[in-house]
Amino acid sequence: MLKKRPIYVTHGGELMLKVENLHVEVENREILRGVDLEIKPGEFHVVMGPNGSGKSTLALTIAGHPKYRVTGGRILFNGENINELSPDERAKQGILLAFQVPPEVEGVKIIEFLQQVLVELKGIDPVEAYDLIVKKAEELWFREEDLHRYVNVGFSGGERKRLELLQAVLVEPKLLILDEPDSGVDVDSLSVISRKIEELHKKGTAILLITHYGRILEHIDNQDIKTHVMKDGRIVKTGGGELIEKIDKEGFAEIFEEVGE
């Protein structure tokens, strides 16, 4: 029998995630070329940057995608080097990645999948999990009968992203990495996703959000936000929430010029 056990350890004001001089290769091509990033528990970080600058690579590497090979530097989570950990071990440490394009999993019903996720990550038994899932699903506009569909199969962009958020809401990870939760999403879905991100943030989940637009942040207090701008596999500028407005208005060109890139 599975025992309930606390999975997450809190570390006060210490660093939760520390990415040190991270170099990553995909299929023998270097994508990240020395990324440094520090996130404390409960913080809200936004990563912006042009296509191909390495944002998704950073997200997938932290989550442990086997195709993304760390060739230099390290990733520390709560002080532990997680470079060698498998994706499930990282999830158990409290890292959750909401995918940019979550894949279809044929034949696997959402409800059964989520029940198993809650068993694995929170030690909640499947019967108890069922009610919790149905309740939370409703908040993300999934009816009970929707939960008997197969995971992401035939889903619209908005449905896929809402299902990613549902998982985040159920798991309440220590660190939630959101890879463009606003891309390919209808306006109404965007609003519910944005509110759920805010809710999780308020409950203490640290957020690392990758986006192209500030719109998703309409519910988040600007003062709380740390913004990083990526270019060619590096973070070239870090600032507060005001950076997002600046990029929304002027694009990246001026920032890159300022930092001499």
Partner 1 sequence: MTETITIKDAKAIIENQIEELAKRNREPEWMTRIRYKALKAFEKAPHRDPVISEEELLQFIAKPEVEGVPEHIESLDDLPPEMKALLDRLGISEVEQKYIAGLAVQTDTGVIYNEFLKEWAKKGLIVLPTEEAVRRYPDLVREHFLRLFRVDESKLTAYHTAVWNGGIFLYVKEGLKVPFPLHLFFLIQESALAQAPHIIIIAEKNTEFHLIEGCTAPILLKHSLHLDMTEAYFHENAKGQLTVLQNWPEYVHTRPMTRAKIGKGARFINTTVTLGSGKSNIGDPRYWVDENGYVELNGILLGQKDFYVDLGGRMYLQGKGASGINASKAVIMDESTVITRGIIQAEAEKTKGHISCDALLLSDKATMETYPGLISKVDDAQLSHEAAIGKIREEELFYLMSRGLDEEKATQLIVKGFLEPMLRDIPMEFLVEIRKIIELAVSGGM
Interacting residues with partner 1 (CB under 8 A) = 63-67, 86-88, 90-92, 96-97, 99, 102-108, 113, 116-117, 120-121, 150, 167, 171
Residue among 153 and 224 whose Cβ is closer to partner 1: 153
Amino acid identity of residue 3, one-letter, is K
Shortest separation between residue 167's beta carbon and partner 1, angstroms: 7
Residue among 66 and 260 whose Cβ is closer to partner 1: 66
Residue among 9 and 105 whose Cβ is closer to partner 1: 105
Shortest separation between residue 219's beta carbon and partner 1, angstroms: 26
Kindly give, in sequence order, each residue whose CB lies less than 8 Å from that of residue 112, ignoring residues fewer than 6 positions away.
none
Shortest separation between residue 77's beta carbon and partner 1, angstroms: 14
Residue among 96 and 200 whose Cβ is closer to partner 1: 96
Shortest separation between residue 54's beta carbon and partner 1, angstroms: 18
Asked whether the beta carbons of 245 and 83 are under 8 A apart, the reply is no
